[in-house]
Homo-oligomer: A and B are copies of this chain.
Amino acid sequence: MSDNISNDFFSSSDSVRSAHSLNHAQKVTFSEPLLLQNGSELPNVTIVYETYGTLNENKDNAILICHALSGDSHVASHDEDDDPGWWEILVGPDKMIDTNKYFVICPNVLGGCRGTTGPDSINPMTGQRYGMDFPSITIADIVEVQYLLIRHLGIERLLAVIGGSLGGLMVLDWTTRFPDRVSNAVAIAVAPRLTSQSLAFDIVARNAIQSDPHFYGGQYYDKGTGPSTGLAIARMLGHITYLSRESMTRKFDATRNVGRQLDTSFETKFSVGSYLAHQGNKFVERFDANSYLTLSMVIDTFDLGETQEERIQLLRKSMCRWLIISFSSDWLFPPFQAQEIVRTLIAVDKRVSYCNIESDCGHDAFLLENNLPLYGGLIQAFLKNGYEEHVARAQFEPMGGLSGNQRAPAHLHGTKHRIDYDGIIDLIPPQAKILDLGCGKGDLLYQLKQRGHSHLVGMEIEEQLILKCVHRGLDVLHSDINKGLKDFADKQFDFVILSKTLQTVRNVELILEEMLRVGTRVIVSFPNLGYYRFRAELNESGRAPRIDPRPGRLWYNTNDVRFLTLTDFEQFCHEKGYRIHRQIAFDTELDAVVESNPNLNADVAIVVLSRE
């Protein structure tokens, strides 16, 4: 087996993190004591950080990037001779986080071992390394130290804070600890707190380190050897949780029984065993066991609150726009947990977009190229629109006065005319809060936005359509409407819209109940099977009516699975006790409103409903 293949085999998302030079790192030391959350003090604190791009005159283009457990300040290379950084694929000139445009700051975290004060730093009070005397810290302490750095750099307000995993938890903390210092937050692969399963892995990892006989209660620095076996085992376990079952199968199954030759005391019988042994051994060369213990406990004690009420109390303080991203195969920070955060933000009417990216790369997906066009594209679009609003806000212009939409590229304006959209738009008063279910690429919401509506939320199931919405500066949530609207509180919206989607919905009763729960009014549009042409198709030709107008869409492959006439719907509302406020019927072939016998003469109907 050639070296190349072997190197590829051993590569991981971590490999780019492993050999960073810190030649371009800067350092600042704050000599005042730092009061920590647990009441103890650090006598001083040093921060190592790297910056990219130029802080502009208004100091409004600064982005803070927060690294994950084993990361450091080297998020990207500084020049061609520099080592690649851990987010090299995303950060740099003309990249999706464009350092020609933005000023990027990436500090090593408090408690780390790559320059910033941590357990392996000298305690000035004793002249010895802290070791286990390093105090228990929390995300809050890490963020407080980052805040010192930001102020040191003369930045009043960050354009954005961005991070994944542990870094994403920092993002969550930033938005509530310093709400007026953050305009945009991008939190990737995050959770309100770890699941008990994920927590359990961290506990086993810490037990492995702390029960290593070379741990010496954390004071191993002068012993010549440290708890490298325990740390390696912790790292092996970590690697399993960063990957997914699918990605491990892809990587290891074909060569399952082919162990690699390695200088290790760990088992190398299976290919996956060789990989784990290699990763474990490599990690102990660059990472400090006490930092690992400290930072894994930072993750484990992070808690936005057990209940939705507790989370609401916290997150309602945030004043930024939000982009939350999860990955479908991430089982360390599973998507349902990111969705809990989204649900909380929605409950307090924050502006949030969310996408659960289909990926088989597990937790590490946010560091990999596989899904870069989507997650990077979302970040890029979100930052672009956020920057425009951020600049506008800094200039004391009213929110939304210079929203990104009015400057959206011309091709986005080319929305195909739909008479039913016109009908819906005419029904909606100014200032109304709108939820559009199955919003697609945001055509209806975009038209509403252009008319000055500002409180608009879309829900969509297709990733690429979500990306288009974010490009348009719309707030859109990735969700399957067939599962209901549990993310939303009662009467959270003035109008909930389901336009030409009712006929594709499996659970009609649930969705209408849910719409009527979260909206004061509901607007539904659907094709009317009673239309005279549809009747004729069945009655005269003996064929199933072709309700789906798209070419090639016939009875066996259309998404339309509910067949109803306008009369059926009226009867349904009557039986359910729903009140019909308005009903507008269209003949879309004639592009005309139908007044007479709509159940026969209209092919599309719009109905405005409420509970009695």
Contact = CB atoms under 8 A, between A and B. Distances in A.
A211 B266 contact: yes
Contacts of A564: 544, 555-556
Nearest to A556: B508
Contact of A563 (B199, B276, B544, B599): B544
A563 to B, nearest CB: 5
Interface stretch (A169-177, A247-255, A432-440, A461-469): A247-255
Contacts of A600: 542
A203 B245 CA distance: 15
A509 B553 CA distance: 12
B509 A556 contact: yes
Interface string A240-267: 1001110011011100100000000111
A204 B276 contact: yes
| Copies of chain A in the complex | 2
Interface stretch (A111-119, A312-320, A565-573): A565-573
Given A266-B211, A539-B535, A555-B568, A200 B544 contact: no
Given A237-B237, A567-B542, A229 B211 contact: yes
A567 B543 contact: yes
Contact of A544 (B199, B203, B506, B568): B568
Contact of A203 (B207, B276, B306, B561): B276
Nearest to A528: B542
A213 interface: yes
A567 to B, nearest CB: 5
B565 A556 contact: no
A196 interface: yes
Contact of A272 (B196, B270, B271, B538): B196
Contacts of A567: 542-543
B555 A201 contact: no
A300 interface: yes
A300 B257 CA distance: 10
Contacts of A565: 538, 542-544
A312 B203 CA distance: 42
Nearest to A240: B200
A265 B542 contact: no
A529 interface: yes
B245 A197 contact: yes
Interface in A521-537: 529-530, 534-535
A200 B538 contact: no
A233 B557 CA distance: 53
B538 A195 contact: no
Interface string A180-221: 000000000000010111011101101110110100000000
A195 B245 contact: yes
A298 interface: no
Contact of A538 (B334, B529, B554, B557): B529
A207 B508 contact: no
A276 B561 CA distance: 49
Contacts of A539: 535, 538-539
A159 interface: no
A276 B556 contact: no
B563 A555 contact: yes
Given A208-B208, A245-B331, A253-B196, A530 B542 contact: yes
Contacts of A271: 196
A357 interface: no
Given A196-B252, A562-B555, A240 B568 contact: no
Interface string A471-493: 00000000000000000000000
Contacts of A16: none
A10 to B, nearest CB: 15
Contacts of A196: 245, 248-249, 251-253, 256, 271-272
A200 B272 contact: yes
B256 A306 contact: yes
B568 A267 contact: no
Interface string A540-555: 0011110000000011
A448 interface: no
A251 B200 CA distance: 12
A213 B233 CA distance: 14
Interface in A268-295: 269-273, 276-277
Nearest to A264: B207
Given A203-B272, A210-B267, 9 more contacts: A195-B248, A199-B272, A204-B233, A207-B267, A210-B265, A509-B556, A535-B539, A542-B600, A554-B572
20 contacts: A195-B245, A196-B252, A197-B243, A197-B244, A199-B273, A200-B236, A200-B240, A203-B269, A211-B265, A211-B266, A237-B237, A506-B561, A509-B556, A538-B565, A542-B565, A542-B567, A544-B563, A555-B564, A556-B572, A561-B562
